[in-house]
Amino acid sequence: EPEVTQTPSHQVTQMGQEVILRCVPISNHLYFYWYRQILGQKVEFLVSFYNNEISEKSEIFDDQFSVERPDGSNFTLKIRSTKLEDSAMYFCASSESEARFAEAFFGQGTRLTVV
């Protein structure tokens, strides 16, 4: 069964460092998303991406965040200078098309710990 793969599963970084979270969406999917879940809190939408550009982003997704599809298979989330409050589980998701948006598949998540 196709799946969204995220690496690493857990990343620990020092405050102020840059991190890159990686995702490999399902191969024929065209729409990509990042969400985060701070421990004990809601899952929050960060950004959606289609056709090599951001199609929607939340107020959380400020200048510290960026996304990229550097090649045909990876989709990355970069946090330039991490803060303690960036500690969360980050989920990548992908969907085949807008018409099938509801059937977005989520990865297992990357737990980011900023110390």
Partner 1 sequence: GEDVEQSLFLSVREGDSSVINCTYTDSSSTYLYWYKQEPGAGLQLLTYIFSNMDMKQDQRLTVLLNKKDKHLSLRIADTQTGDSAIYFCAESMRTGGFKTIFGAGTRLFVKA
User: Contact between 75 and partner 1 (CB under 8 A)?
Assistant: no
Q: What's the closest the beta carbon of residue 54 comes to partner 1, in angstroms?
A: 8
**Distances in whole angstroms, Cα of residue 4 to Cα of each of 55, 62, 90, 103, 111:** 20, 25, 13, 13, 16
Residue 99 and residue 34: Cα distance in Å, rounded? 19
Count residues near partner 1 (CB under 8 A).
25
The reply to whether 97 sits near partner 1 by the rule CB under 8 A is no
According to the binding rule CB under 8 A, does residue 44 interact with partner 1?
yes
Q: Which stretch binds partner 1 (CB under 8 A): 18-26, 35-43, 63-71, 75-83?
A: 35-43
Residue 104: CB atoms within 10 A of its CB come to: 19
Which amino acid makes up residue 105? F
Which residue's CB is nearer to partner 1, number 42 or number 63?
42
